[in-house]
């Protein structure tokens, strides 16, 4: 059986992928493959990175390249997996803004897409005015639609050189951190949605629903919020910022006790 994982940034996706790669194929007939960010969006440069929505990585190294490097057109490349995706279930992990935004900010300070330098809100110490500036800019984009930049394409000082110079506009992030689960017609393209706050239980409930004889007991967490790794308390969003209409895990989960949303059944358990 094949199962696809759509990785939304800062939702423990790297930890899940590490666990998937170490899965013993002798113990289960389940094959889990990773769909890169924004897979279900038709645009090539859709707020993540070059070609991210057009490729599968990790399990199939030969596909971990841009389509043009394979001698394939983007449409042909995408269609390689369309039949599988029509049959195989897809799962993802979602997170609420209150914990996702500090993780996004803090990880950006140490290099994740260089979103801090792109928006001119750098703070190397993960504290102080940098976080406040970050929230102000993020909120301004949320309310007024001012440009939000997801990364710097060129940062010689950091030793980062990309194929394109300039900043990457990506206002999707200031409206929703779950936009990747939808296609361009706002159809939900995944079958299972797991609550980040109850991750392991959500994974096990999904395996049970799929009648897969597999249970996960723990995850070795990777790429955690640097504040957490340094023993510091994550920052909180100031109450003056009202993100009540922001779309995140609250679309599917009312509390931390709920673990899994089954899309076809419209049921949360």
Angle (CA) 216-93-29 rounded to 5° is 45
Q: What is the pLDDT of residues 163-187, one digit of tens each?
A: 444 566 678 889 999 999 998 788 8
Averaged pLDDT, 133-148: 89
Tokens of 27: 């113990």
Are 269 and 201 spatial neighbours (Cβ–Cβ below 8 Å)? no
Would you state the pLDDT for residue 92? 97
| Residue keyed to tokens 């599968």 | 56
Would you state the pLDDT for residue 93? 97
Residue 267, pLDDT above cutoff 90: yes
Residue spans of beta strands (DSSP E) within the chain = 2-6, 31-35, 56-57, 90-94, 149-152, 154-155, 160-161, 167-169, 192-195, 260-262, 267-268
Q: Tell me the three state secondary structure of residue 8.
A: coil
> CA 211, CA 164: separation in Å to the nearest integer?
46
Residue 117, pLDDT above cutoff 80: no
- pTM, rounded to two decimals: 0.81
Are 37 and 65 spatial neighbours (Cβ–Cβ below 8 Å)? no
| pLDDT class of 241 with cuts at 50, 70, 90 | very high
Residue 201, pLDDT above cutoff 70: yes
The mean predicted confidence, pLDDT, of the chain is 75
Q: 94 Cβ partners below 8 Å, 6+ apart?
A: 8, 11, 177, 178, 181, 193, 194, 195, 196, 248, 249, 251, 252, 253
Averaged pLDDT, 254-259: 92
């Amino acid at each position: 059986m094949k199962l696809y994982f759509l990785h939304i940034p800062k939702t423990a996706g790297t930890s899940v992928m590490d666990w998937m790669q170490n899965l013993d194929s002798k113990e289960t007939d389940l094959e889990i493959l990773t769909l890169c960010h924004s897979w279900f969006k038709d645009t090539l440069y859709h707020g993540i990175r070059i070609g991210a929505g057009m490729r599968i990585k990790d399990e199939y190294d030969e596909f971990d390249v841009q389509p043009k490097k394979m001698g394939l057109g983007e449409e042909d490349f995408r269609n390689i997996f369309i039949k599988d995706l029509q049959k195989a279930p897809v799962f993802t992990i979602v997170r609420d803004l209150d914990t996702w935004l500090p993780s996004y900010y803090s990880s950006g300070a140490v290099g994740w897409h260089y979103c801090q330098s792109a928006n001119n809100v750098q703070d190397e110490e993960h504290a102080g005015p940098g976080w406040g500036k970050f929230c102000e800019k993020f909120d301004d984009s949320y309310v007024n639609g001012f440009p939000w930049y997801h990364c710097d394409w060129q940062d010689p000082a950091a030793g980062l050189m990309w194929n394109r110079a300039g900043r990457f506009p990506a206002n999707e992030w200031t409206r929703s951190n779950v936009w990747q689960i939808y296609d361009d017609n706002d159809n939900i393209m995944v079958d299972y949605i797991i609550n980040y706050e109850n991750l392991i239980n959500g994974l096990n409930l999904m395996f049970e629903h799929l009648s897969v004889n597999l249970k996960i007991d723990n995850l070795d967490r990777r790429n955690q919020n640097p504040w957490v790794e340094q023993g510091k308390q994550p920052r909180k969003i100031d109450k003056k910022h009202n993100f009540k209409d922001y779309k995140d895990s609250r679309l599917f989960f009312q509390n931390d006790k709920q673990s899994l949303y089954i899309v076809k059944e419209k049921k949360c358990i």
